[in-house]
């Protein structure tokens, strides 16, 4: 497994060793000791999977009182995965990074707590799976509008399919500070 830094400290792309032969392939997607050596110490307690049609955009989501670190990958197709630092007091507040995750590359992204997360399905279909370090709590979920002009996320020239709920999120600058996580990393 190789850890690749992104433009946001703490958000890492992970590239596993893939062993291929005439039968197909084998790879480790999670190994607690190896992840701990990278600095990923969360205990993941929930796995989720979604299947999205091309052009579907999900996000940007985060939980406030029950924050979730996420370990994300794609098992069919390709997505643009985006993390936005929404931690009040962070030197990277309002900055984003994006990584193309694909079944072909078999790469993953680790997103720590305090980041809003979303993705755009680039293929038909895109099957996205992720581990979470806290249980999903719909009453605790918060979000930032996907096309916030201040963030300037480079989604590409698209008119995405976005849920009604995700279309109602506010821009980051309009979010009350008490609905944003605090920067607890030193």
Number of structural domains, the chain?
Answer: 1
Q: Which residues of the chain register pLDDT less than 50?
A: none
pLDDT at 186: 58
pLDDT at 147: 98
Q: Is residue 23 part of a domain?
A: no
Q: Is residue 163 part of a domain?
A: yes
Q: Is residue 89 part of a domain?
A: yes
Contact residues for 63 (Cβ-Cβ < 8 A; gap 6+): 134, 136, 137, 140, 141, 142
Q: Is residue 162 part of a domain?
A: yes
Q: Is residue 186 part of a domain?
A: no
Q: What single DSSP character describes residue 16?
A: -
Q: Is residue 59 part of a domain?
A: yes
Place of tokens 């307690």: 45
Q: Is residue 132 part of a domain?
A: yes
Helices (H), 26-116: 32-38
pLDDT at 184: 80
Using CA atoms, how far residue 159 sits from 54, 63, 156, in Å, is 11, 26, 9
Give the strand pairing for 78-85 and 96-102: antiparallel
pLDDT at 162: 98
pLDDT at 107: 98
Q: Does residue 153 have a cis peptide bond before it, meaning omega lies within 30 degrees of 0?
A: no
Question: What are the two backbone dihedrals, phi and then psi, of residue 22, each rounded to the nearest 5 degrees?
Answer: -60, -25
Query: CA nearest 141: which of 78, 24, 61, 79?
Result: 61
Give the strand pairing for 78-85 and 18-21: unpaired
Give the strand pairing for 12-15 and 108-111: antiparallel
Which residues are annotated as catalytic?
61, 130
Specify whether the CB–CB gap between 49 and 127 falls below 8 A.
Answer: yes
Q: Is residue 153 part of a domain?
A: yes
Please state the pTM of the whole predicted model. Answer: 0.95
| Dihedral, CA of residue 148, residue 152, residue 157 and residue 159, to nearest 10 | -10
Contact residues for 86 (Cβ-Cβ < 8 A; gap 6+): 62, 93, 94, 114, 115, 116, 144, 172, 175, 180, 181
Q: What is the CATH number of the domain that holds 44?
A: 2.60.120.10
Domain that holds residue 95: 2-18+28-179
pLDDT digits (tens, 9 = 90+) for 102-151: 999 999 999 999 999 999 999 999 999 999 999 999 999 999 999 999 99
């Amino acid at each position: 497994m190789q850890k690749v830094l992104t433009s946001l400290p703490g958000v890492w792309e992970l590239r596993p060793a893939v062993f291929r032969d005439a039968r197909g392939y084998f790879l480790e997607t999670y190994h607690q000791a190896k992840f701990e050596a990278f600095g990923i110490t969360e205990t993941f307690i929930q796995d989720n999977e979604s299947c999205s049609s091309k052009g579907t955009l999900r996000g940007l989501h985060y939980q406030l009182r029950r924050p979730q670190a996420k370990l994300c990958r794609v098992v069919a197709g390709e997505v643009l995965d985006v993390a936005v630092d929404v931690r009040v007091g962070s030197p990277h507040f309002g900055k984003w990074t994006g990584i193309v995750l694909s079944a072909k590359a078999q790469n993953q992204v680790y997103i720590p707590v305090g980041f809003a997360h979303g993705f755009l399905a680039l293929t038909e279909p895109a099957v996205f799976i992720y581990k979470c370090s806290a249980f999903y709590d719909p009453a605790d979920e918060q979000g930032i509008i996907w096309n916030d002009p201040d963030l300037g996320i480079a989604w590409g020239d698209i008119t995405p399919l976005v849920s009604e709920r995700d279309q109602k999120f506010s821009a980051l600058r309009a979010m009350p500070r008490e609905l944003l996580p605090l920067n607890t990393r030193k």
